[in-house]
Chains A and B, each alone.
Chain A
Amino acid sequence: MTPSLHAGSLHIQQLVKEYRPGVPVLKSIDLRIDGTGLTSIIGPSGTGKSTLIRCINRLVDPTAGQIWLDVAGERLDMAQLHGRALRRSRRHIGMVFQEYNLVERLTVMENLLTGRLGYLSAWKAWRRKFPAEDFERAYQLLDVIGLGSFAHQRADALSGGQRQRVGIARALMQQPAILLADEPTSSLDPKTSVEIIQLLREQGRERGIPVIVNIHDVELARRHSDRIVGMTGGHVVYDGPPAGLTDAHLQTIYGGQAWMQ
């Protein structure tokens, strides 16, 4: 597999997001993520993990703060971009979703090629005139995710695990500089969850790009991450290697202790 053209790095400064004025979900987040490796963000529901991930590629608009994305010698503040500039920068950020978010009525191949839409005019997209190397890369990726014979199946014919693999392949088609995943394993069984998280980690390593994953399952995060960020109440309360995450930290993050017995 060819490495991505550019590895990106992310520097989040004083990021605040309020859905309702005066009620911040993210309360001044500072985070630097660069180099290779899988960073897991853990924390209770409603603590802003998804919001944080979605601010990075601007599916959610932040209220204040900066999100610096360094890619290909350029330094972009994702928090400030609009219109065409925002779309151009999104091409560098791959995203994997909890419920896969495949376009159900398109084929697996079409879903993969969706990852290249940022580079294609509407006229060519309408006629499915993607460059030959896009098809080449799509077939390679299908082999990587083990769905080589599924290219012309419709996405709604796949199982959950298969769909999430296609979701990952779609993100990788972008040749992203960073890869985001919002609860990618929450809708999957334990075995498939492990396979998916391993696939994300391997692909990140091979491409030399950072992977940022929201995750509910603490054990899964501990076992398969290079770094763990623990969030609670809109703040980062732990940032370090999985080995350093103690029960005391987990109590701070989730509160109480009965659940750990």
Chain B
Amino acid sequence: MDAVNTTRTPAPRAMRAFAWSGTQKAVLLAVLAYSVYVIAQMDLSWARLSTGVHQGARFLGRMVPPDLSKMDVLWEGIRETLQIAVLATFAGVALSLPVGLLAARNMVPGYVRTAARGLIAVCRSLHPVITAILFVKAVGFGPLAGILALVVATVGFVGKLFADAIEEISPKQIEAVRATGASFANVVLFGVLPQVMGRFVGFATYQLDSNLRNSTMVGIVGAGGIGGALFSAFLRFEYSFVCTILATVIAIIVVGEIVVNATRKALHV
């Protein structure tokens, strides 16, 4: 020990306090090694990247000027997209309330919670576009499939967050309401909901934002909305119309976010 101490001075205390642990170093190394392996495997090279940049520039060049001649098609798609987003959010959030309640450990017996958590996990596991494909098969082309797909996504997201929020509430407030002889439903109404309503509204507005984005996508697989028009414009090489659609979608998302934020501020959530 003495020999070591004389040949190597230990790192100053201040440095040692934040030193990386062996596990942390190993994890970092593993991630780096995997990345290098994948890059080699997938034949990713600078050459391909640079030709891609050139092609991308040509493609962007063909997008201007935007095509403003088909505003009726655009408007039709946008209207449907907004309808899908709003309706799916409304229905999905309404469904999330009971599902979230049934998935909270402090509200229901274990087996009910497991079943509800399972339902939420299934809803969360598939991307909305994949769910939309399933619903197109089930109910046919059109906005109904899109709405159903986004309802599923909403239940998966809002239901989970709502359940987690309920599991974190203060049991003392619940206890006091129970002590008055209130029924389970009344305990929920006066003890549980007041504690989580603010956060629930927050989740719902966030999901509206997210559904606006997703509802522009489900059209690609024929589930209604602007996505359909976008996809067919791509297939027909109408890049200037693609440009119009993309610009409109971006504008809608930005405006939607502003509206959602204003709503959250107004509701103090």
Residues of A within 8 A of B (CB): 57, 59, 87-93, 95, 97, 99, 101-106, 110, 114-118, 120, 122, 125-126, 167, 170, 174
Contact = CB atoms under 8 A, between A and B. Distances in A.
Interface stretch (B1-9, B44-52, B168-176, B232-240): B168-176
B263 interface: no
15 contacts: A87-B183, A90-B179, A92-B181, A93-B179, A101-B175, A103-B173, A103-B176, A104-B173, A104-B195, A106-B194, A114-B180, A117-B183, A117-B186, A118-B181, A122-B185
Contacts of A102: 173, 176
A115 B173 contact: no
A20 to B, nearest CB: 20
A117 B190 contact: yes
Interface in B157-180: 170, 172-173, 175-180
A92 B180 CA distance: 8
A91 B178 CA distance: 10
Contacts of B198: 105
A10 to B, nearest CB: 16
Contacts of A122: 183, 185-186, 189
A101 B170 CA distance: 9
Chain B interface mostly helix, strand, loop or mixed?
helix
Given A88-B181, A117-B181, A118-B181, A101 B176 contact: yes
A218 B238 CA distance: 87
Interface residues on B, range: 20 to 34
B254 interface: no
A125 B186 contact: yes
A118 B191 contact: no
Contact of A170 (B180, B185, B194): B180
B258 interface: no
B112 interface: no
B182 interface: yes
Given A103-B194, A106-B194, A117-B186, A97 B176 contact: yes
A87 B182 contact: yes
A178 to B, nearest CB: 12
A92 B179 CA distance: 10
Most A CB contacts (10 A, CB to CB) among B175, B177, B181 go to B181
Most A CB contacts (10 A, CB to CB) among B170, B177, B185 go to B177
Given A87-B181, A99-B172, 10 more contacts: A59-B175, A88-B181, A95-B179, A103-B176, A103-B194, A105-B198, A117-B177, A117-B183, A117-B187, A118-B186
A103 B180 contact: no
Nearest to B192: A103
A89 to B, nearest CB: 7
A221 to B, nearest CB: 23
Contacts of A104: 170, 173, 194-195
B171 to A, nearest CB: 9
B182 A114 contact: yes
A122 B185 CA distance: 6
